[in-house]
Every structure is written in C-alpha cells, then in structure tokens.
Amino acid sequence: MNVAAAALVLAPALALGSFLNVVVARVPARRSLLRPPSSCGSCSQEILWRDNIPVLSYLLLKGRCRHCEAPIPIFYPLVEFVAAALIVACVAVFGPTSEAALAAGFCAVLVTLSAIDVQLRIVPNRIVVPAAAVALVVHTAIAPSAEWLLAALAAAGFLFAVVLVYPKGLGMGDVKLALLLGAVLGASVSVALMLGLFAALVPAVVLVSRHGTDARKMGVPLVPFLALGAVVTLFLGEWILDAYLGLF
C-alpha cells in the first residue's frame, strides 16, 4: 500500500471528479466544457467557488442551492466521491507508477460513461472511442505486448456477437466500451465481462419479476455493470482468475 502517494492525489482526484460532472452534463449535449461557468440547474445562478468544492460543498449546503434552495442532485457528489475513491485506490494499490495513471484514467472514464448511461442511455462516441485508442497506445507503450490489442478486439467481438443474438439487451456503445476494457485489462477482460453481465442480470430479473413482460421495454443500462465488473477485475482480476483456474 502506498498511503503517502494516495493521500497526495486525494485533492486532485476530487477536483477531477468535479470536472467529470461537467463532462457528464455537457459532452452529450455537445456544449463547451469551459464556458459558461457552472450554474444552478434550477435558478441559473452562477455557482460560487466556495459552493463548488467537491463533496464538501454538497454537505455544507445540505444538498440545496444557496440561492433558490432547490435540491442539488445527489448524482454530483456521488460522481465526485466514487471517481476520487477509485483514483486514490489506484495509486494506493499500484503505487506512483505509469500503471496507476492508466488505471486511474480508466476509472475516471468508467465513472463518466456510467453516469451518462444511467441518465441518458447513451455511450458517447466522443468519449469512448478516444479513451479506447489512448488506453491501447499507453498500455502498449508501458508494457509492450500484443495482449492489449488482442484482448480489446476479442472483448468487442464477443459483445458484438451478443448484440447480433440479443439486440435488445445491449448496443454498439457497449461493444466500443469493450474495446476500452480489453485494452486496459488484457486477458482478464474475460473476467470483467462475465462479472458485469452477471451483475446486470440481477436488476433484469427483479424488473421481470415486478413488471412481467413490460420489463422487456424498460431495459437496464449496461455500462455501470460492465464498469463494475471492470473495476473489480482491475483490482482483483489476477486473484479471481487464479482462484477460478484453481478449481480444475
């Protein structure tokens, strides 16, 4: 564990989490990331810097806008907290290394794509395609191997086959996400996909049991589950794979 390094990245990680909220709110709508400054979704009053401190401001304001007292969606501090926690965990586990930087960037993208998928049911090309390309180039540079490219193609190919069989369950956005997962996780992407698809079955089964055949129309956003499988694999992948192979 690299506690000192992890403590150092906490504040920048929270700031990045805050920026991810801007990405989530603006990139799908094709708005500028820089202008205008953040404002309240209810009264449009510009948010002061002291009311824009990640997580802390939400707690101090008790989840309400300083001006109009409209509730601030819990989504914002949640994105900040989860992103920061994952980034700090990457540095704590992998140390101050280029692997940790790759893993932290990976987690930041996964949080962003999950938040967008939950709200809008889309996976923006403008995020997932460059993220997959950068991850592939960086990982190949850090640890030269064909594994990252092959795993990216295999993971995307596998989900593409699932799309062909079951087009209602997932879409091409999930296939592009699989490219990113494979580029970072390598061979253990198989573990991530299995965990993610299995985790997504739980809400799907709950929906069907509650709403019967209507549940088929509701669908479940898949990205958060694939992201969950990917994060668990990122930290525990080798251990899971060893345990699994140890069964035989």
Q: Among residues 46 and 214, whose Cβ is nearest to Zn ion? A: 46
Number of Cβ within a 10 Å radius of residue 53: 16
Work out whether 65 is an interface residue with Zn ion (CB under 5 A): yes
Which segment (16-24, 37-45, 156-164, 208-216) binds Zn ion by CB under 5 A?
Answer: 37-45
**Residues touching Zn ion, count (CB under 5 A):** 7
- The CB-of-44 to Zn ion minimum distance in angstroms stands at 7
Of 26, 64, 67, 121, the residue at the interface with Zn ion (CB under 5 A) is 67
Q: Which is nearer to Zn ion, 33 or 70 (CB)?
A: 70
**Cis ω for the linkage preceding 36 (within 30 of 0):** yes
Measured from the CB of residue 39, what is the shortest distance to Zn ion in angstroms? 8
Chosen residue from 40, 109, 193, 223 binding Zn ion by CB under 5 A: 40
Amino acid identity of residue 55, one-letter, is: V
Q: Decide if 88 contacts 55 (C-beta within 8 A).
A: no
Closest CA to 94 of 86, 85, 103: 103
Query: Please, what is the minimum distance in Å from the beta carbon of residue 173 to Zn ion?
Result: 33
Q: How far is the CB of 59 from Zn ion (least distance, A)?
A: 17
Phi-psi region of 231 (alpha: psi -120 to 50; beta: other; left: phi over 0): alpha
Closer CB to Zn ion, 65 or 184, in the complex: 65
- Integer Cα distance of 135 and 132 in angstroms: 5
**Distance of alpha carbon 125 from alpha carbon 119, whole angstroms:** 16
DSSP state of 46: B
Q: For residue 198, what are the CA distances in angstroms to 134, 192, 209?
A: 28, 10, 17
Q: Does 68 bind Zn ion (CB under 5 A)?
A: yes
Kindly tell me which of 44 and 98 has the beta carbon lying closer to Zn ion.
44
**Options 65-73, 170-178, 197-205, 213-221: segment touching Zn ion (CB under 5 A):** 65-73
Question: What x/- string results for residues 179 through 218 when contact with Zn ion is judged by CB under 5 A?
Answer: ----------------------------------------
> Among 22-30, 67-75, 76-84, 175-183, which window interacts with Zn ion (CB under 5 A)?
67-75
Phi-psi domain of 170 (left: phi exceeds 0; alpha: psi -120 through 50; beta: other): beta
Compute the CA torsion angle 79, 45, 70, 58 (nearest 10 deg). 40
Phi, psi of 144 (to 5 degrees): -55, 120
Query: How far apart are CB 219 and Zn ion at their closest, in Å?
Result: 33
Distance CA 208, CA 184 (A): 34
Going from the C-alpha of 212 to that of each of 20, 203, 207, the distances in angstroms are 36, 13, 7
Kindly state whether residue 52 participates in binding Zn ion, applying the rule CB under 5 A: no
- Minimal distance, residue 51 CB to Zn ion, in Å: 10
- Selected binder of Zn ion within 7, 33, 43, 60 (CB under 5 A): 43
Residues that bind Zn ion (CB under 5 A): 40, 42-43, 65, 67-68, 70
